[in-house]
């Protein structure tokens, strides 16, 4: 049933529309358990989603590393060009172009490199992926702890409202009692005014307590990552947390924290990634094998067809003139003259024009080319050594961060453990104080009712009872918060 309700929550139409192309957030359900609040936060909390979004890029980093190692890169290109008619000079030679030209070209190339860097990249990418996933797991545990702490804050504020409501009821009774005794001449007007002031103060305290509940609920919705309803009080928190005697062993908790604390695990994964990066930096001493190959082609077309025909005709005329000259020079008795070409016919002119029409895709292919090279950097102006030193320094820093965080976690576990033990004992003491203060208030009320006590004694007893009730509630939620802090430090639920 709860799963069905959560599904309805997740697909419900949101009450607040965000910017374009962003999902509409769901409305908050009227009954909210801690598990549902955590599930919603994992879907919609912006800070957590920023961390979770790194999962995809980390996975693609591993794919990219293996692709660079085993597969070549492939690229294609295509271009178009135009050159106007005119002359240009190269060194001492001048070249004339009587017609503008248009052209196109293409290229297909593949390349592949095998080096120490590409060999170590898969290991480095996988280490970075593990670090990213560990960060996401840590963010998930920390988000659950934050939602639980805020959930407890709402429940504590609601408990304070109940105390304030009881105080208002008591002060109403005291006011009626003071007015009744004043009417029969057993109390003064001062008692009535004091009772009225106490009643007003209790009303203000109740109003402030209710406002505190609204504020804590708004903070809970913000922590979850969903918009709050117009009236936050319509949402009922369904979970309750019993108070039981702690039975955990400190040594067992410390051992669990060493093995499962998400922050420590994330830093250990980052340290492993830093060590892999150091290995990748040292691999720069290895030689590199490079392979490249390519195919290409081009077109070039004169835009003036008459210029093409005239050029072809000029070439033909030159050939005819040369042939005639040879025949004239070599014409001796017994020698057969050469057969000279005829001027361009109309069909040949059309063929010349057709041969010129190659733009843009009638490419003339160029020969295939390939190259293999082996390189070994000898001296890099200490750049390689500097990069290796930086990588080693980052790896050392990462190891120190793990040790520092482990000590911090052990301190946090021990602090939460002792706080929990003291809070549990405090609950028992505050319970006794609450019972004693309640009995004191009952006796003071009866004494005032029969005229043997003063209204000041009644007010003092009332203040003591209210303080005892508040201290008891605070002790209970200090206990619950200590468990939540202990769970966050250990990295897993304890109840």
pLDDT band of residue 333 (cuts 50, 70, 90) is low
Q: Please determine, for residue 414, whether its predicted confidence score (pLDDT) is greater than 90.
A: yes
- Torsion 429-434-435-437 (CA) sign: positive
Q: The domain spanning residue 22 has which CATH number?
A: 1.20.1600.10
Category of 266 on φ-ψ map: left (φ > 0), alpha (ψ -120 to 50) or beta: alpha
pLDDT band of residue 25 (cuts 50, 70, 90) is low
Q: What is the pLDDT of residue 335?
A: 66
Residues 55-78 have a mean pLDDT of 93
123 within domain boundaries: yes
**DSSP state for residue 80 in the 8-state scheme:** E
Q: Residue 37 belongs to what domain range?
A: 2-62+119-287+381-490
Q: What is the pLDDT of residue 334?
A: 57
Residue 74 has phi, psi (to 5 degrees) of -125, 135
Per this entry, what is the length of the chain?
A: 495
Beta strands in 51-128 (DSSP E): 73-83, 86-90, 93-97, 101-114
Q: What percent of the chain has pLDDT over 70?
A: 93
Q: Between 162 and 27, whose confidence is greater? A: 162
CA-wise closest residue to 461 among 446, 450, 473, 476: 446
413 within domain boundaries: yes
* DSSP per residue, 351-410: HHHHHH--TTT--EEPPPEEEEEEE-----TTHHHHHHHHHHHHHHHHHHHHHHHHHHHH
**Max CA-CA distance within the chain?**
169
- For 341-357, what is each residue's pLDDT tens digit? 888 888 888 998 898 89
346 within domain boundaries: no
CB 479 within 8 A of CB 423: yes
Tell me how many helices (H) and strands (E) the chain has: 12, 9
Residues 384-402 have a mean pLDDT of 92
Q: What is the pLDDT of residue 2?
A: 36
CA-wise closest residue to 488 among 250, 249, 260, 245: 260
107 within domain boundaries: no
Q: Structural domain tally of the chain? A: 1
Q: Please determine, for residue 47, whether its predicted confidence score (pLDDT) is greater than 80.
A: yes
First-to-final CA distance of the chain: 22
Average pLDDT for the chain: 86
280 within domain boundaries: yes
Residues 6+ apart with CB under 8 A from 88: 94, 95, 97
Q: Please determine, for residue 219, whether its predicted confidence score (pLDDT) is greater than 90.
A: yes
Q: What percent of the chain has pLDDT over 90?
A: 49
Q: Please determine, for residue 393, whether its predicted confidence score (pLDDT) is greater than 80.
A: yes
Q: Please determine, for residue 397, whether its predicted confidence score (pLDDT) is greater than 90.
A: yes
Residues 146-159 have a mean pLDDT of 94
343 within domain boundaries: no
CA-wise closest residue to 104 among 75, 82, 74, 76: 82
352 within domain boundaries: no
- For 437-474, what is each residue's pLDDT tens digit? 989 888 988 888 887 788 788 888 888 988 899 999 99
81 within domain boundaries: no
Q: What is the pLDDT of residue 411?
A: 93
In which residue are the tokens 């609601």 written?
158
Q: Please determine, for residue 223, whether its predicted confidence score (pLDDT) is greater than 80.
A: yes
Q: What is the pLDDT of residue 331?
A: 58
Rounded to the nearest 10 degrees, the angle between the axes of helix 383-450 and helix 250-260 is: 140
Category of 351 on φ-ψ map: left (φ > 0), alpha (ψ -120 to 50) or beta: alpha
Q: What is the pLDDT of residue 317?
A: 87
CA-wise closest residue to 480 among 31, 141, 33, 145: 145
Q: What is the pLDDT of residue 342?
A: 86
CB 234 within 8 A of CB 473: no
Q: Please determine, for residue 98, whether its predicted confidence score (pLDDT) is greater than 70.
A: yes
pLDDT band of residue 16 (cuts 50, 70, 90) is very low
Residue 414 has phi, psi (to 5 degrees) of -65, -40
pLDDT band of residue 99 (cuts 50, 70, 90) is confident
Residue 169 has phi, psi (to 5 degrees) of -60, -45
In which residue are the tokens 């008619």 written?
85
Q: Please determine, for residue 188, whether its predicted confidence score (pLDDT) is greater than 90.
A: no
**DSSP state for residue 71 in the 8-state scheme:** S
pLDDT band of residue 6 (cuts 50, 70, 90) is very low
Residue 417 has phi, psi (to 5 degrees) of -65, -50
- For 233-267, what is each residue's pLDDT tens digit? 888 999 888 999 998 999 999 998 888 888 888 89
* Alpha-carbon separation of residue 472 from 160, 461, 493 (angstroms): 10, 16, 25
Q: What is the pLDDT of residue 327?
A: 76
């Amino acid at each position: 049933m709860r799963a069905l309700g959560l599904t309805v929550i997740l697909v419900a139409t949101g009450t607040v529309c965000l910017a374009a192309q962003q999902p509409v957030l769901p409305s908050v359900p009227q009954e909210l358990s801690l598990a549902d609040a955590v599930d919603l936060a994992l879907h919609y909390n912006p800070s957590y989603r920023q961390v979770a979004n790194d999962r995809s890029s980390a996975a693609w980093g591993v794919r990219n590393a293996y692709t660079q190692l085993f597969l070549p890169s492939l690229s294609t290109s295509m271009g178009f060009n135009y050159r106007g008619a005119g002359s240009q000079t190269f060194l001492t030679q001048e070249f004339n172009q009587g017609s503008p030209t248009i052209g196109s070209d293409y290229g297909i190339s593949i390349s592949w490199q095998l080096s120490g860097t590409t060999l170590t990249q898969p290991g480095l990418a996988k280490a970075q992926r593990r670090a990213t996933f560990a960060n996401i797991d840590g963010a998930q545990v920390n988000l659950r702890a934050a939602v639980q702490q805020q959930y407890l804050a709402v429940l504590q504020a609601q408990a304070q409202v109940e105390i304030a409501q009881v105080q208002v009821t008591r002060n109403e009774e005291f006011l009626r009692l003071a007015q009744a005794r004043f009417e029969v001449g057993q109390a003064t007007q001062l008692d009535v005014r004091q009772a009225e002031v106490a009643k007003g103060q209790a009303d203000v305290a109740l109003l402030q307590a209710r406002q505190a509940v609204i504020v804590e609920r708004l903070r809970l919705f913000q922590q979850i990552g969903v918009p709050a309803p117009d009236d936050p009080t319509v949402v009922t928190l369904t979970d309750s947390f019993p108070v039981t005697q702690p039975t955990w062993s400190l040594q067992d908790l410390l051992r669990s924290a060493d093995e499962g604390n998400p922050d420590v695990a994330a830093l250990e994964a980052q340290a492993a990634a830093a060590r892999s990066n150091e290995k990748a930096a040292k691999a720069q001493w290895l030689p590199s094998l490079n392979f490249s190959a390519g195919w290409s082609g081009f077109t070039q077309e004169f835009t003036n067809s008459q210029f093409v025909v005239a050029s072809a005709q000029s070439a033909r005329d030159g050939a005819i003139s040369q042939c005639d000259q040879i025949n004239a020079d070599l014409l001796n008795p017994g020698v057969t003259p050469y057969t000279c070409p005829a001027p361009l016919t109309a069909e040949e002119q059309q063929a010349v024009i057709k041969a010129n029409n190659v733009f843009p895709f009638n490419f003339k292919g160029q020969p295939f080319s390939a190259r293999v090279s082996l390189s070994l950097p000898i001296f890099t102006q200490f750049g390689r050594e500097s990069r290796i030193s930086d990588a080693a320094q980052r790896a050392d820093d990462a190891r120190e961060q793990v040790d520092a965080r482990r000590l911090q976690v052990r301190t946090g576990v021990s602090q939460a453990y002792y706080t929990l033990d003291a809070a549990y004992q405090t609950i028992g003491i505050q319970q006794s104080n609450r019972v004693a203060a309640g009995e004191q208030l009952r006796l003071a009320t009866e004494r005032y009712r029969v005229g043997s006590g003063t209204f000041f004694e009644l007010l003092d007893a009332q203040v003591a009872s209210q303080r005892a009730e508040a201290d008891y509630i605070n002790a209970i939620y200090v206990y619950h918060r200590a468990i939540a802090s202990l769970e966050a430090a250990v990295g897993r639920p304890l109840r």
